[in-house]
Amino acid sequence: MNKVENKKAINKDIKIKAIKDSFIKLNPKFMIKNPVMFVVELGFFITLVLTIFPNLFGDGQSNLRYYNFVVSIILLVTVLFANFSEAIAEGRGKAQADELKKTRKDTKAKLLLKDGTFKLISAIELKKGDRVLVENGDLVPNDGFVYEGVASVDESSITGESAAVLKEAGGDFSSVTGGTKVVSDWLKVEITATPGESFLDKMIKLVEGASRKKTPNEIALSTLLIGLTIIFLIVIMTLFPMAIYSKIDIPVSTMIALLVCLIPTTIGGLLSAIGIAGMDRVTRFNVIAMSGKAVEACGDVDTMILDKTGTITFGNRMAAEFIPAGKHTKEEVTRFAVLSSIKDTTPEGRSVIELAKNQGVSINEKEYEDADFIEFTAQTRMSGMDLRDGVRVRKGATDAVKVFITELGGRVPEDLDAVTEKISKLGGTPLVVAVDKHIFGVIYLKDTVKPGLVERFARLREMGIKTVMCTGDNPLTAATIAKEAGVDEFIPECKPEDKIDVIKREQNEGKIVAMTGDGTNDAPALAQADVGIAMNSGTQAAKEAANMVDLDSDPTKILEVVEIGKQLLITRGALTTFSIANDVAKYFAIIPAMFAIAIPEMNIINVMRLETPSSAILSALIFNAIIIPLLIPIAMKGVKYKPMKSEKMLLRNILIYGLGGIIVPFIGIKIIDIIVSPLVSMLVL
């Protein structure tokens, strides 16, 4: 069972806590935040008063005491079910927050002093800018960046992954998170967060729901629900004088029951749970969303910006073939390629030696222990070895090696450009091998597209999402990888500012843009994008600029996050459609029941043929209550999402949740009426 599945279960403790919270949330100061359910709670209090004082509003029918009591109980249960749906959604987040809190203990910190010694203090005393020493076995006291040292850090308390991560000063892997543990060597860390404001603290608040604010879509839908509630309240208020004019005696509790059945209580009771569950689904995928708005924005994404290396491809270029140039043989190229890689500890260098061994070529490395290894630099773009006899072996970028041999008086083989161009067209990287002033051939390095990405990009295309690959590769290499991966567009030789330009271009066209990144140079683009997902292994600047952080540092996860966002929007839309459609069915149950005696013609719309007016009202009210917990699994899990065009998706949801929202209440209310009608007759005697 994977990590995501482990977090899915709603255990017994969560359920018990949710039941308790359902009663705590009855406090009007909580209920007023959900106006629809607040109206239901007011209805409960009024009917409860009518149970005690049945003649309070002049009904003059003391035998309605039991009927009023049943209505009040059903209304109470309706509110409790709505509170339970929200509490169960919050419960999962709080359970995960409790796990995170276990890592936030009173850690001791080794505060570095100016004289080079350290002083042991409590981590809560640390201030932003303080420098600390973290040695093997120590917990990182707070968020910061490594300015000296190299060490392996266990981040399982945050990510759930057991494999330690290498952290070192400089580069894109210098950021460390409070609560993680150093498991080798030592680090000197400069603190970047004050106590209570660390990444871990923010995570705890977010997964608890304490920092969750309503998104623009939620606010808009809430406004609609409030508007519908006000409209139906006015309708009910006008029905009362109409009933008096028609000489129909309608109990106040019946009017309240009608109001509760007509206002959108179903979606009103589930709306908050849907939003919380959406963020929870992202969290269970080990992605921390800094706001619900970020999750929603994922559902509206039109364009996705993706780095090539590490996202679309594995990133480590591996030697795939040795290709001779000029009059040299494959054996010669292979031998000198190995010589240039003996002390090259990079994945590319190791792959050269591995490929040569597989082809039966091996060299005794001890013979070259005294040789001088030439490291690769951004300036030379070459690496290799200077042998004891003065022979210089190099491998590197085509143009760099050309300059190297030309300066020594050598000539470039005529077929070299054809070989390197062919490799570039195949999406590979050519490394030219030279010995002194002679070029012997080329090492074909291949960066492989991750399996399954072609299908995933096709799925995104079905959603109407355009994919744009950004890479520093030359245009030929970029075009080959783009074609192999199946992306819609690519930007070769891409610089950080190019990413910002393409994001702004898409946004100017009214599109929502998502992108991933991990480096400081990605921070401006992450901040510019509507959805920016930073890697947890990346820099502090990237994490602060983004509105989501992937704890697993898997750049391809943006694909799943987009689907979760779409699922959130679809779930909310589907359940809203179902809720409003259900009100139509309840209308056919209650209105005829109220007026059929005085206006026999109203029986025409009594299509359910319910037994009595009282049983019809209570049946509709009971169905209105029980449908909320029945829909909680859908609100929590989300409506199953399948990539398809928006028009087709809309039609599908209307058929399932619109038509279903009409049919299900008709069946449910009729069944409940058959069960309760014998009991109801006794309540009104």
- The first and second tokens of residue 568, run together, are 């959130």
Q: Per the annotation, does 477 bind a ligand?
A: no
Contacts of 363-371 with C-beta under 8 Å, sequence gap 24+, read: 363/335, 363/338, 363/339, 368/339, 368/342, 371/342, 371/343
Helix 216-245 and helix 265-284: axis angle, to 10°?
A: 160
**% helix, strand, coil for the chain, step of 5:** 55, 15, 30
- The first and second tokens of residue 47, run together, are 């009917």
Cβ contact 143:199 at 8 Å: yes
Cβ contact 514:298 at 8 Å: yes
**Could you give the CA distance from residue 475 to residue 482 in angstroms, rounded to a whole number?**
10
Q: Per the annotation, does 509 bind a ligand?
A: no
Residue 547: name the closest of 183, 220, 240, 291 by CA. Answer: 291
Q: Containing H/E element for 403? A: helix 398-407
Running DSSP on this structure, what letter comes out for residue 103?
T
**Could you give the CA distance from residue 656 to residue 664 in angstroms, rounded to a whole number?**
11
Q: Per the annotation, does 518 bind a ligand?
A: yes
The active-site residue out of 143, 307, 530, 554 is 307
Q: Tell whether the torsion through CA atoms of 6, 8, 12 and 14 is positive or negative.
A: positive
Q: Per the annotation, does 242 bind a ligand?
A: no
Q: Per the annotation, does 377 bind a ligand?
A: yes
Q: Per the annotation, does 344 bind a ligand?
A: yes
Q: Per the annotation, does 461 bind a ligand?
A: no
Q: Per the annotation, does 185 bind a ligand?
A: no
Q: Per the annotation, does 98 bind a ligand?
A: no
CA atoms within a 13 Å half-sphere pointing along the CA-CB vector of 537: 19
Running DSSP on this structure, what letter comes out for residue 685?
-
Q: Containing H/E element for 503? A: helix 496-508
Name the maximum alpha-carbon separation found in the chain. Answer: 117
417 is catalytic: no
**Could you give the CA distance from residue 192 to residue 659 in angstroms, rounded to a whole number?**
55
Q: What does R_g of the chain's alpha carbons equal in angstroms? A: 34
Contacts of 590-593 with C-beta under 8 Å, sequence gap 24+, read: 590/257, 590/258, 590/261, 590/262, 590/616, 590/617, 590/620, 591/258, 592/616, 593/617
Q: Tell whether the torsion through CA atoms of 35, 37, 41 and 42 is positive or negative.
A: positive
Residue 590: name the closest of 604, 606, 601 by CA. Answer: 606
Residue 118: name the closest of 141, 96, 98 by CA. Answer: 141
Q: Per the annotation, does 157 bind a ligand?
A: no
Q: Per the annotation, does 163 bind a ligand?
A: no
Decide: helix, strand or coil at residue 305: strand
Q: How many helices (H) and strands (E) in the chain? A: 24, 22
Decide: helix, strand or coil at residue 317: coil
Residues in the chain: 685
Q: Per the annotation, does 127 bind a ligand?
A: no
As beta bridge partners, residue 313 has 309, 449
Annotated binding residues, as ranges?
344, 348, 376-383, 395, 518, 522
Query: Would you name the residues annotated as active-site residues?
Result: 307
Annotated binding residues for ATP, as ranges?
344, 348, 376-383, 395
Annotated binding residues for Mg(2+), as ranges?
518, 522
